[in-house]
Structure formats: structure tokens, C-alpha cells
Structure 1
Amino acid sequence: FEKVYNGVVGKARAGGPAKYKIFQWAAGVAREYAKVSQDNFRRTGTASVPFGLEAKHKVADALVYKKLREAFGGRLRACVSGSVALAPEIGFFFAGAGIPILEGYGLTESSAASFLNPGEAFRTGTVGKPLPGTEVRIADDGEILLRGPGIMEGYHGLPDQTAEVLEADGWFHTGDIGELSPDGYLRITDRKKDLFKTSGGKYVAPTEIEGQFKALCPFTSNVMVIGADRNFCTALIALDEPAIQAWAAENGLAGKSYEEVISAPATVEMIEGHVTQLNQGLQRWQTIKKFRLLPRDLDVEHGELTPSLKLKRPVVEKEYTHLIEEMYAGAREA
């Protein structure tokens, strides 16, 4: 969905300034429409919106959303997304454009899906409510615990590993951190093992920051926030090659290779603008002080992503140790 969004943005940009401006306006309307309608449905059971917003939405639908839905086949009722968290702002865009994305959640140990957003009552940014028979609670440290008939009896032939995650009364420790709304909607905030503490003692949830950046910068394919035991956060950013090459062609870099494009000062300056925009919405200790653009995208073939496209952080850190050390060179540890 992120790559589809990046492609839509790139196509709108390639259509010229007027077309791109219309798209940006329509994208803003879609997000506002989705947020207001979902909030009203939560409070009243009716996905109503003010008349003015409804009117703008109809115009935007004729200009942008209808074409997008046609690209999905024209008869799509909803999509289901899992594996990794979808950036909420991208989810709101699709929802407002008439392509609801129903996020779900589960693990191999829970026999796949344990949560799924329910039809009309879906809430972007959550993985929905537990499926029938599934119990959930949040531990004191924020970890999501599950219990029910779908939970495994244990890892085959591995009693010690089983004891680490499965309590005697059946509660399974998922390793994910989350929040549960009063009416049972679950929001995943990060992987427990991915949370890190800066040298100043502040906890940072990298996945949430990475998702925000993907929503802000349509040229991003993958991003990894770093900062464990450091006195500030940095990021490694891999760009979506088709998207950035389309931008390059419009900004004096036509015919350049991907490596040449990401090394160009204009590209670095453009990405820096998106990083600055990201930082404006973060706490001081979360802000990205430095970043480096990677020479290629992260992928499964190089072992940097799992088959379900989750980041293998230790692998990426080892592969690009030189870039990380470069960003922290001379930094005073707090």
C-alpha cells in the first residue's frame, strides 16, 4: 500500500504543477473525511460528515478517487493488511478515497489472525477487535498478552523456549507493545525488542517514527531509526527507485543512475526537508538529527527484510555500520 501510494503521488507530480496541486488538495480532503467519518461512527454509529466536507469530498472523488478505485478494479469493497503496521496517514488517505484498508494482527503462535477490523466499524491505525474466543490483556510493561483456543500449546520439542512466552494459565506473551481502547480496539505501537533507550534515559518506539516518515515522504521505501544508548536519534533511509527517478527527471538529474541521484545535493536537501517536517511533530529526544541515504533498497534477498517485509534491524545495522559510525562521529555521549 505504501508503494501504491508513492506511485500515485509520483504520477500526480509527473502530471505537472496543477495536477499535483489538485492531488495534494484531494489527499488532504480524503484524510479529513476518513478521520471525521470514523470518529462520528465511533461516537454515534453513523459515518456522517459536515455538509461542506461532503461537498469537497464529492468534487475530489470525481477528480481523483474514482480513478484510483478503477485502478484497483472498480469493484473493491475493502483490503486487508497485516505483517507490519501501515502508516495511519496512508490508511486515512485510502479510506477517504473509498478503499478501506482493514488491518489485522496475529502470529504463527496464535494460528494466524487474532484481530481484525470489523467492516463498517473499522478504525484506521488499529488492528481492530479480537476474533471470537480470543482474550487479550496488556501487561504492566505494555506487552500484548493473548489467550484462547488459537494459541499454541508450545514450541515442538523446545520446553525452555515455550516457558519463556507461555504462562501456566495459557497467557501468551506476543513480544509486541500495544494499547487497548475501552471498547476493545487494539493499537500496536512497536515490537518489545525494537524499543530502545537513548543514553539520556528516554524510550523511543522506532516503528511509529518510521511509519510517520513514510507517510510524509512519498519517495521512501524503507527507513530505520537508530539511537539505542546514543545521545540522539539518526536514520538510514532507502528510497523507492521508480519514485525518486521520476522526481530526478524533473529536477535536473535526468539520466542519472540511482546511486548518482541519491548522492546529489538536491536529493539530500529534498529528503532533509521531509525529515525537518517529521521532527516538528516529535518529542525532542525522538527527533532525527542526522540521516544517510542507502545505496540501494533493503530486500529479502540480502537478508535485511523477512519474507513478510519486517526489518531485520541487526542485519541492517551490521551492513551499514560505516554509515552509522559516520553519523555519530565526534558525538558527545550524554
Structure 2
Amino acid sequence: MSGTNSGTLVHRFLHWERVQPDTPWLTETTADGRVVDYTWHEVGDQARRMAAYLQSLRLPPRSSISIVGKNSAHWIIADLAIWLAGHISVPVYPTISADTAQYIFEHCDVRLLFVGKLDGKTDGWNEIRKAVPPHAQLIGLPMSPVPQDLQWDDIVAKQAPLQGVHMPAPQELATIIYTSGSTGRPKGVMHSFGTIFEYATRAGEFCGFTPADRVLSYLPLAHTAERSFVESNSLCHGFRVFFNDSLATFVQDLHRARPTVFISMPRLWTKFYQGTCAKIPATQQALLRETTPEAEAFRQRILEMLGLGATRIAFTGSAPLPEEITNWYRALGLELLDVYGMTENFSYSHYSRPGLVRPGYCGQAMPGVECRIAGNGEILLKAPTMMLGYYRQPDLSAQSMTEDGYFRTGDCGELDEIGRLKITGRVKEIFKTSKGKYVAPAPIENKLSHPKVEAVCATGPALPQPFALLMLSAAARGELQDAAGHDALRAELKDMLDSVNATLEDHEKLAFVVVVQDAWTTDNGLLTPTMKVRRGAIEERYLPMAHAWAELGQPVVFEAQAVETH
């Protein structure tokens, strides 16, 4: 990728627009149910027209322009328009609170807000809109709830395309990505056009991307994982992006896309597994371990049923998957590659290599990445994709680096004999029991794997022994309606608790587990937008009941029951 084709994703976009103008790039379902394709030429035309409008506003150079909305074709087209006009894009999660939105808008002085696909019910738009600064203009993207006069389609229809688009230099600031803020205020991570391009070229080499590839976009584009994997890679390598319309249409959208490369989080891989096991009896699944043509056809049939029949590379990340689930996918012929990355290095750090997957580990350092473990167990990293720093927080930026230029990740970890990395927790999450012993929750949570458990939080500061909170899958919660299902689940969880405790040090052994009553969601603030548990919020909600649960003297406590008896 040399000459005019390289340097930044803007250069790459112009390349694909020139060599495959009529090829569909972005495919989505509209509000009235139609499926629409946008070609590279159509995207370029719309992005240039909007860029011309942005320039006509005479905003200060390098102004911050926000995009808030669920994933859609115009989310990416708006991002491109911001860059072509010479401004900085600031994505905002559609589920954030008014308080967080106000902080972001003020912190980076947002001048204009593109409002995308939102409904005010499954997102925080009704709250976010209250936080929009009075001077910031709102522009409604297609499928936006904004009733304002300024609509994308109207502006694009009237505006001539920008002729001299801004050609950024690699060192220029491209975007400020605010971390999801599982603790405290979100930090504005600054990425240059150069760091994003480094990611896309190196990740593309690893994945062997070509314009023939297809991906499904469904994880939040405001988060680095999707922004890097879907937007940056497709801009760089010219492949097609399909958008998921809603949770209800996920399976249908996945089948339409038939992705060749797919990334997901453990919760979804677990749901796929549970759903298939519910449909196909264990006796039939025994076929998976056979090598006959019939078994091969059966494996392919299951992958097609999942919408993954064409998938050649599959990634998982954010937390380890139970070994039995990983092995089940491997038996299907899909080796899940665990990856590790963060906003600060644009999701480029460690990837599992095919044939070298080790359960519980997230692979080896990627080319150009240096990793070492500090004396306190913290993972320290150098990467060609490292952020420019935290926006308007020079002190915090300096504190995040060691004297010799390594980034302090805040994660604890260990390396095996071939450099595979295992995450053992967060430096700040380690808590002390009333006996004065330190406990790292993450390794315990990773052991508490059960097909009916969707999320886990091990906790217990200032208690004699830790305990764990378990959130059941929706199907498992349904089984609790009758006494037999209740008793069966209690026995299963008791067995799991005993087997996990047998592997733990005395001070780590769990006194009990609690099956929580309510689902943890982004709406109730107990999960981040990327589906990680918000430990602080969960502890604030449940720790006040810990002593009462301990007094029950039961290994498995059901929150609903415990509430009734106290």
C-alpha cells in the first residue's frame, strides 16, 4: 500500500472509490423494511456534499463534531464527512446518561451533533438531547428521531460536493474516543490518522482481508472494537459491511451478511451454543466428534443455521469463554481466536494464533507490540497504534506511561512460555477481605462458568470470605418458575461452587453464590455499552445485603427468596 493509496484511511477510501465505484460497500435495512446498498461512489458523493456543508459553517479548524446513534450506514458516512471537511469526530454511546453526555460535549467543545438511528426507548436519546449545548447544531441522519429542519437528506440534496477534500497527515488528530467509563469520568482517548491506519494495515495482514470479505456490524461503533474491526478495516481493505437492524432481526441480518470474518463477545458465543444445544439433542451432537462425510455435512449445517457457514476467522474477546464452549466450536470447525486490546491502543495488542489457542489466554503480542509484566503484575505495553494521549489531561497522559515509554494498562496478567498472555484481573479491582487477605476477582469469575449463567461478579471487600453474584440467562430464569427447576438449578450451582472452591486458595474460596433477581443491562447501569460488568455499580447495589445473605448459611442463595425471608 504505497503512494497515494496509503498514509491514512481517507487515502484508502479515495482508492476504493476510484477502483470499485459501483461495488456495494454498506448494506442496511431502512425503517420501512427495505434493504438498501450504498456503493463506494454513492458514499463518496454524500460524504463530499456533507463535508461541503460543514465547511460552509466556518467552524474553527479541527472542531469536535459528535455522532450519536446506533450503527447505520450514515454513522460511517458522517464520520467520513467530518474527516473530509478537516474536523475531528467524537463518537458518543447512544446509551450514556445526560450527565456523561454533558461532560463529553463540554470537555471537547462539541460544535455540531449528527443524530443517527435512535428511538428514545432502547437508548438514552431523551436524556442526551437535554445535554446538547445551545450553540451546537443538530443534524438528523436518516432514521433519526430529530424533528429539526436540518436533515441529512435535505442538506445533501441542496449542496454541491466538496471538490478539494481535506487530505490529512498521519500525525493529525482524527478522533477522540471517550472510554465507556466503567469507573469514574470517561477519558478522551486521542487517536491520529496514523495510529488508525497502522491498526488497519497490520490487522488486515493478520486476517488476510480482501474486498471479497463481508462483516456484520452490530457492536457499538462508538466503541474502539467495532470502530477498528469494521469501519477502519473496511475503509482500508475495501470489503462489504452489513448492519444489524435490531436485536429482533439479528439472526436474519446475520444470515443476510453471511460474514467471512466475525467478532463477538463471550455472551453471544454462549447464547449461540445454548440455542443450538436446546434444538439439537446431545445424542445427535455426538456426530460432531466423528470424521465421516455425514458428520462434516452436519457440522456445516449447524454453522449455516447460526449464519456462520462462510466464516473463515472468528474472534472472541473481553473475557475468556468456558473451555467446553470453545471446544464445541472447534468441533464445528470454527476455532475462536481470543483477542486483547483497549481504546488506548485501538484494539491492537494480543491475538491468538490459529493452532496455538490456549484456553484462558488471549494470544501472543501482535507484530510491533512489546509486552512486559511489572513487579506488581501489571501489563505494560508499547504499540505502533498507541494513542496520542488523553484529551486535555496531560497529567493523566503522563501518569499512564512508564519512564521508558510503556503504557500502564491497569490490567494484571502473566505470560506463558511462548508469550501468550493471560489476564488475571484489574490492578484496582483487587480487594481486601476482613482477614486482611487480597483477592483478585477476575480469575475467580472466569472459573464460574455454567451454561445457564450469563454474567458473574465476584466481590466481598471487608467480609471474611468473598462471594459471587450470578446473573442467569433469560431461559434459565424461566426455569425457576417451578419448584423442580429451582431445586435442580440449586444443585447444579452448588456442584459448580464446590468444584471451583476446590481450585482456589483458602482466602479466595467463595462463601456462597447469589442468583440475582434482575437482569444486568446497560439501561440500568450495571453493564457498560460493551457488556462488561460495572463492578462499582453492582457492588453499590448488592453489597448492603451481603451480611444478611451470609447469615442464611446457604451455599446457593436466590436473591428473590432471601429478600422475602428478611
| Map of 1:124 onto structure 2 | 359
> How do residues 175-254 of structure 1 correspond to structure 2 at under 5 angstroms?
175-214=410-449, 217-245=450-478, 247=479
| Map of 1:68 onto structure 2 | 302
1:84 and 1:309 in contact (8 A); partners too: no
Q: How many residues are matched?
A: 286
CA offsets 1:167-213 (integer angstroms, 9 cap, x no match): 23211100011111232221212122222233334433322222221
Distance 2:318 2:430 in 1: 18
2:517 to 280, 295, 306: 295
Is residue 331 of structure 2 the alignment partner of residue 96 of structure 1?
yes
Distance 2:357 2:343 in 1: 24
Over aligned residues, Cα RMSD in angstroms? 3.0
| Map of 1:5 onto structure 2 | 270
> How do residues 18-97 of structure 1 correspond to structure 2 at under 5 angstroms?
19-20=281-282, 23=285, 57-58=290-291, 61=295, 65-72=299-306, 73-97=308-332
| Map of 2:398 onto structure 1 | 163
CA offsets 1:212-255 (integer angstroms, 9 cap, x no match): 212xx21101111112232112111111012442x458x666xx
Distance 2:487 2:372 in 1: 49
1:142 and 1:178 in contact (8 A); partners too: yes
| SS of alignment partner, residue 113 of structure 1 | coil
* Letter aligned with residue 535 of structure 2: R
1:10 and 1:243 in contact (8 A); partners too: no
| Map of 1:272 onto structure 2 | 494
* Letter aligned with residue 157 of structure 1: R
Task: Give the 3 Å change call, closer, same or farther, for CA 329–89 of structure 1 in structure 2.
Answer: same
* Letter aligned with residue 119 of structure 1: P
Measure how far apart 1:309 and its partner are. Answer: 1.2
2:467 and 2:510 in contact (8 A); partners too: yes
Task: Give the 3 Å change call, closer, same or farther, for CA 148–230 of structure 1 in structure 2.
Answer: same
| Map of 1:315 onto structure 2 | 537
1:154 and 1:166 in contact (8 A); partners too: no
Is residue 333 of structure 2 the alignment partner of residue 111 of structure 1?
no
Measure how far apart 1:89 and its partner are. Answer: 4.1
| Map of 1:173 onto structure 2 | 408
2:460 and 2:543 in contact (8 A); partners too: no
Measure how far apart 1:266 and its partner are. Answer: 4.9
Is residue 526 of structure 2 the alignment partner of residue 304 of structure 1?
yes
Identity %: 29
1:137 and 1:146 in contact (8 A); partners too: yes
Measure how far apart 1:132 and its partner are. Answer: 1.8
Distance 2:414 2:324 in 1: 19
| SS of alignment partner, residue 314 of structure 1 | helix
1:77 and 1:100 in contact (8 A); partners too: no
Larger mean CA deviation between 321-330 and 105-114 belongs to 321-330
2:469 and 2:515 in contact (8 A); partners too: yes
* Letter aligned with residue 161 of structure 1: L
Task: Give the 3 Å change call, closer, same or farther, for CA 326–61 of structure 1 in structure 2.
Answer: farther
Measure how far apart 1:141 and its partner are. Answer: 1.0
Distance 2:405 2:448 in 1: 38
Measure how far apart 1:85 and its partner are. Answer: 3.3
Task: Give the 3 Å change call, closer, same or farther, for CA 323–272 of structure 1 in structure 2.
Answer: farther
Distance 1:138 1:204 in 2: 19
| Map of 2:51 onto structure 1 | none
Task: Give the 3 Å change call, closer, same or farther, for CA 196–96 of structure 1 in structure 2.
Answer: farther
Distance 2:506 2:283 in 1: 32
Distance 2:299 2:476 in 1: 20
Distance 2:539 2:356 in 1: 40
2:314 and 2:337 in contact (8 A); partners too: yes
Which structure: larger Rg? Answer: 2
Task: Give the 3 Å change call, closer, same or farther, for CA 126–93 of structure 1 in structure 2.
Answer: same
1:222 and 1:297 in contact (8 A); partners too: no
* Letter aligned with residue 543 of structure 2: T
2:320 and 2:359 in contact (8 A); partners too: no
Task: Give the 3 Å change call, closer, same or farther, for CA 315–161 of structure 1 in structure 2.
Answer: same
